[in-house]
Amino acid sequence: MLAVQGFGVRGPRGWAFREVEFTAEPGALVAVEGPSGAGRTSLLLALTGRMRATEGCAEVGALRLPRQAAAVRRISALAHVPGVTDLDPALTVAEHLRERALLQRRFGTSLRSLLSPRTERAAASALLRESALTAAGLDPEALVKGSRTAVRDLERIEALRLSVALALIGRPRLLAVDDLDLKLSEAELAAAWRMLTAIAEAGTTVVAVGQGAPEAAQKVRLGTTHEKGAADALAETGRS
């Protein structure tokens, strides 16, 4: 569950966003709308504990922001955030999946799992990877060069699906997806929203930036009054 009250982030020259308020039930799909520069990415980063809120508070499940940001980071994931979760164009789909599995094994595995037999850990990792790929709607073997397809050769919708799959490998309870509508066709955008709807229906709360959300999605609208502050706050992420 998300409960956001008077939430805001201030940069050196102004507000990235402020006075954001909404409540979302577990497994909800929340669409963040507004023009570029309105603080949309800052909101995603703040809700997932990657950027410290300046005012207000938010509850992510039983955790409270900004005080428990580290704990929120452990139960949330980001996908398709320029400058933060960029895919390496030279790496293949298989290499990205292998890298993410190694990171999950190193930083996201419980002590109990680490003490289990290696074959058991490998089987669990493979199952988790396949589950994430299925949820994201990506079949690596259907790509032009199979799982050896480089990111630079993926279609935009395929790259989006890969980014979402990599985020889901961590089994997040909250998934934040940025720029969903970036250079996608109308049909691709509709398919992307269907993917996120299915992920939400399976129990993961999803907050996504983009236009064209389905009617059932909960809408959060950001204005344009804090554009300069948003640019300042986003400088921390490396995004211009």
Decide: 15 and 226 in contact? Cβ < 8 Å. Answer: yes
Cα–Cα dist 145/134, whole Å: 19
What pLDDT is recorded for position 180? 95
Q: Where are the beta strands (DSSP E) in the chain?
A: 2-11, 14-24, 29-33, 55-60, 63-65, 76-79, 174-177, 205-209, 218-221
Q: In the prediction, which pLDDT does 11 show?
A: 86
What are the tokens at 16?
């990235």
Strands ordered across the beta sheet of 218-221 = 76-79, 174-177, 205-209, 29-33, 218-221
* Angle of the 40-47 helix axis to the 227-234 helix axis, nearest 10: 50
Residues of the chain with pLDDT under 70: 106-118, 120-124, 224-240
In this structure, what are the phi and psi dihedrals at residue 9, rounded to the nearest 5 degrees?
-130, 130
To 5 degrees, how large is the angle CA 189–CA 100–CA 142? 50
* Count of beta carbons in the 10 Å neighbourhood of residue 141: 8
3-state secondary structure of 38: coil
The confidence score (pLDDT) of residue 16 equals 93
**What whole-number distance in Å separates Cα of residue 139 and Cα of residue 118?**
26
Least Cα distance to 36 among 189, 177, 230, 207 occurs for 230
Burial class from Cβ neighbours inside 10 Å (0-12, 13-18, 19+) for residue 85 reads middle
Residue with tokens 């850990």: 121
pLDDT of residue 236: 39
Residue 228: DSSP 8-state: H
Q: What are phi and psi of 127, to 5 degrees?
A: -65, -40
User: What is the per-residue pLDDT for 226?
Assistant: 45
Q: Could you state, in order of their start, the residue ranges of all structural domains in the chain? A: 2-237
pLDDT digits (tens, 9 = 90+) for 131-177: 999 999 999 999 999 999 999 999 999 999 999 999 999 999 999 99
Which CATH class for the 2-237 domain?
alpha beta
pLDDT confidence of residue 75: 96
Q: Is 131 helix (H, G, I), strand (E, B) or coil?
A: helix
CA distances to 26, 132, 168 from 204, in Å: 7, 12, 9
pLDDT of residue 106: 67
